[in-house]
Structure formats: C-alpha cells, structure tokens
Amino acid sequence: MSETVIQLENIHKYYGRLHALRGVNLEVSRGEIFGFLGPNGAGKTTTIRCMLDLIRPNDGSIRIFGDNPQIHPQKVKRQVSYLPGDLKMDGSFTARGYLDYLRRLRRGGNDWPLALNLAERLQLPLDQKIKTLSQGNRQKVGLVHCLMNRAPLLLLDEPTLGLDPLMKQEVLRVIREMKSGGTTVFFSSHILSEVQEIADRVGIIRKGALVEIASTHDLINRSLTRALVQFHHPVPESRFSGLPNIHILRVNGEGRSFTFEVAGGMDLFIKTLARYEVANMEISRPSLEEIFLKYYQNEGENG
C-alpha cells in the first residue's frame, strides 16, 4: 500500500466574507504527480499555502507525511520544496550568487552539482544579475532553487510560467525524472496540455470546491467520444435522433457526413452504424482542456 504524502480533510478557508476553500478533501500518494487545475481565483494557491502553514484554514485538518504543519512546521518544511507563483528575489544578486546564498543558508543541504546541471539544461545565465533577467529566466532561478533541494515533496505553483515552449518541455522532463527517483509532485496549473502530458491524477477546483478527482487517463476516456462518420449514401438524420447517449453535433453533405458525440460505451453506436454503408470514420477523445472547460462553461469565471 503506497504511503500518503498529502492528506487534506474538509478544508475551509475564509477571507472575510469570501469562502475561498469549501470543504476540500484530497490525498496524494508517494511518487505521484498530481495536477491541480483551476483558473485564477479558484483556490489553487490558497490550498498550497495552507499545506505549508503560510496561511491557516478556518476548519479541517492537514497532514504532510503524517505531520500537521501547524504543530510541526519545521519538520514539514524540511521535507518540502516550494515554488511560489509570485516568486520574489533580491535583484542585486547574480543568479549564481543567489542560488549559492540559498545553499549556504541551508548549510549545504542542497545538491550544488545538480543546481549547475539544471541551470545548464534550462539555459539559465548564471552570471547575470537577477534584476536584468527576463521573467522566464527569473522563473528558471526559482525552479533550480526548488529542485536542487532534492526534497521528497515538490509543491509547484504554475512552474512553467513565462517559459518558452522548448523550456517548458525541458521542465516537464525534469519533473518526470524527479518522479522516477521517488519524488512526489503536486503542481497547480491552468496550462492543461502540460497537466495532460505528465500528471498521474488530476484535481479540478472550481470556486474553492473540488469538483473532480480522477486519473488523467480515466478522466479523458470516460468522457464523450467524438466521431466523424462519412457514409456512401445519404442517411436521414432521424435514424440517429432519440438514441440514448448519442448526440448529433453536425450534419453535412445532405446526410453523407455526421459528427457525433457518444457518452459512455460505443456498442449501440457501432451497431446503429452497421446498418448503413460507412465510407470512413474518425474517432477522437476530447482533450483535458475540453473536459476542463465543461466544468467552467457558463460560470463567468475569469482565467
């Protein structure tokens, strides 16, 4: 049985009259990459800060490696490396000087060769002053600092913010390597393609409430299937109307081409198609982005 690294039970957080977290329940196991999805203001950062005792929930309990961060904050923080979404750094340092300063603060508790290797992989200009770095390069400094700690738990708040596509892919490769070494990764993001690429499981948060937790694979595969079907001869639209779990999205070519959405199993859909001469069929699954947007459509949420 895998060890539970993060355990949140019925977490509520208020900012005045704003109910920021509404009974969040969540468990993350050792060695798992967990993607935490939601637009700005949904509660992602608030959840992470509660885990680190940077802010305190109004109700509920939190355990990190079995410890309550309110009772054992130092013990918890020794096992966690955190990349905040609003990273602040002293701009008078060079990137190398800043990382070395943080290394010495931890009395050598960091892996300096790993830091140099990561800086090379991420093409970070180590000898340039932080105040002159671009947003993407400042993000790289934060990533190197976070990862060089070799902590067993990484809490990453929008880890690829400001990075170009090639660097984003390199960061995702590094995260996979950390996982293969047994590291647990909890990361928040609104970039859904990244989450789909590397997360083992996904939690979707909306207005402070978790509305879905599932493996990435299951979340995608249990959702609607889209099928573009072309027939040799026109088929009346009425032949598919009223069939359970089959919805016609589009009809072209006077009934020669249909686009369907099918919920659940495909058996009835395939048996219905078998009555006609099918010229071609293309099957696709929705992306994680499409699934995510279904939870937020008509909600008036701002990204």
pLDDT for 303:
36
Residue 225: Cβ within 10 Å count: 19
What are the pLDDT digits (tens) for 70-85?
A: 999 999 999 999 999 8
Query: pTM here?
Result: 0.77
Confidence band for 107, pLDDT divided at 50, 70 and 90: low
> Which is more confidently placed, 41 or 250?
250
Q: Tokens 């047994």: give the residue.
A: 182
pLDDT for 87:
86
Find the distance separating the first CA and the last CA of the chain, reported in whole Å. 38
Q: Is the pLDDT of residue 297 over 80?
A: no
Q: Is the pLDDT of residue 298 over 60?
A: no
pLDDT for 296:
67
Mean of pLDDT values over 169-185: 95
pLDDT for 251:
93
C-alpha distances (whole Å) from 35 to each of 85, 104, 190 are 15, 32, 10
Burial of 182 (0-12, 13-18, 19+ CB in 10 A): exposed
**Lookup: tokens for 3:** 């060890």
Contact present, 268 and 244 (Cβ < 8 Å): yes
List, in order of start, the domains of the chain with CATH numbers: 4-220 (3.40.50.300), 224-284 (3.30.70)
Mean of pLDDT values over 115-139: 96
What are the pLDDT digits (tens) for 12-60?
A: 999 999 999 999 999 999 999 999 988 888 899 999 999 999 999 999 9
Helical (H) or strand (E) element with 295 = helix 288-296
